Amino acid sequence: MHITAGTQRCPGAGQCVLSAPDRFDQSEEGTVLLLDGRVDGEAEEARLRGTVALCPSQAIALEV
Ligand code: SF4
């Protein structure tokens, strides 16, 4: 499982960066930058599912 991030859908709300700054950053334009897409283990999956749920535009996701 890994994280995907689509900048075209991202209005730059920044919730992902606040929730998981080890995985996400924002570009100068404010759109999401994926720093690390790995999802290792159930605890990490649960944590990052919470982050994905915060995104108001479904720009980030967990995929197999
Ligand atoms: S939470 Fe969603 S909309 Fe906000 S910066 Fe992250 S990916 Fe973009």
- CATH architecture, domain defined by 2-63: 2-Layer Sandwich (3.30)
pTM as predicted: 0.94
Is the CB of residue 59 below 6 angstroms from any atom belonging to ligand 1? yes
What are residue 26's DSSP bridge partners? 32
What confidence score (pLDDT) does residue 13 get?
Answer: 87
- Looking at residue 31, what DSSP letter applies? -
Distance from the alpha carbon of residue 64 to the mean position of ligand 1, in angstroms: 20
Angle at 15 between CA 31 and CA 47, to 5 degrees: 120
- pLDDT by residue for the chain (64 residues), tens only, comes to 999 999 999 999 899 999 999 999 999 999 999 999 999 999 999 999 999 999 999 999 999 9
- Every domain of the chain and the residues it spans: 2-63
Is the CB of residue 6 below 6 angstroms from any atom belonging to ligand 1? no
Is the CB of residue 52 below 6 angstroms from any atom belonging to ligand 1? no
Is the CB of residue 11 below 6 angstroms from any atom belonging to ligand 1? yes
What confidence score (pLDDT) does residue 23 get?
Answer: 98
